[in-house]
Amino acid sequence: MKYLLTIFIIGLVFLFGGDFEKGFSLYKKNRLLDAEKVWLKCAEKEKKDDLRCSYSLAVLYDEILSNKERSFFDNEKENRYKVFNYSLPELFEKATKYYKKVANAGYPIAYAPLGLLYYKGAYLLNVNVVQPDYKEAKKWLVKASNSKDKKFVLYADNILGLMYFNGDGVLQDYKKAEVYFKKAIKNKITVAKCNLGNLYIKEGKIKLAKRYLREGYQDGEEYCAEIWNKNGLGR
């Protein structure tokens, strides 16, 4: 989730039009508390046809949440998000609140990140402090998957594949998982090759598994090598 705001703001400007210089300028200068204040005030007055401030708040809180989860492991000396004192549950609530505001207004840019948040919840030292909500996750991930504009699909198909592979809130179904993983691969989500390879191992299709794990590893996905070695696939 790192640098989500920087990445999505480009799409945000393209999607909504106009400029958003004040809050984003503060964000780029690492004046994050000031950026938050500007966007909070703006979000109170927003109309349904222009939710730039709400979306930016959603991504900011999502970014802080992800960073706080990682920071317990990284022990970073200079953490640009340490100015925020929100707890993980508070950040989760804020991020989902503003993503939902944008998603419920019909903007597909919020579907996938909202679905991902509900899928993973929030965790500290591998313990969930906010439990996943698979029903809500599936709802928004399916919406993202069905988006006509492929740039809004993002990782939705890969996560849906994992849900059916693991049986997370749905009946376990390898065929549906395979369909979603292949769709994600077509959308250039390379980690889906690792997940598809893992699925083929479970089905005993070792030749196919090796093919996708090799391709994923060549694309830079170390996770494919972990699956390969864990299952003793040799050379």
pLDDT tens-digit map of 58-112 = 999 999 998 887 765 455 545 778 888 999 999 999 999 999 999 999 999 999 9
The contacts of residue 68 (CB under 8 Å, 6+ apart) are 81, 88, 91
Q: What is the rounded CA–CA span in Å between residue 93 and residue 91?
A: 5
pTM of the entire predicted model: 0.86
pLDDT tens-digit map of 10-48 = 445 444 444 467 888 888 888 999 999 999 998 988 888
Q: What are the boundaries of each domain within the chain?
A: 1-150, 155-235
C-alpha distances (whole Å) from 105 to each of 55, 62, 80, 136, 137 are 11, 19, 31, 16, 18
Domain 155-235 matching CATH 1.25.40: the answer reads yes
**H or E stretch at 127:** strand 127-130
The domains spanning 1-150 and 155-235 adopt the same CATH topology: yes
Residue given tokens 């999505």 in the structure block: 8
CA triple 127-94-118, angle to 5 deg? 50
Residue type, 13: V
Q: Which CATH architecture has domain 1-150?
A: Alpha Horseshoe (1.25)
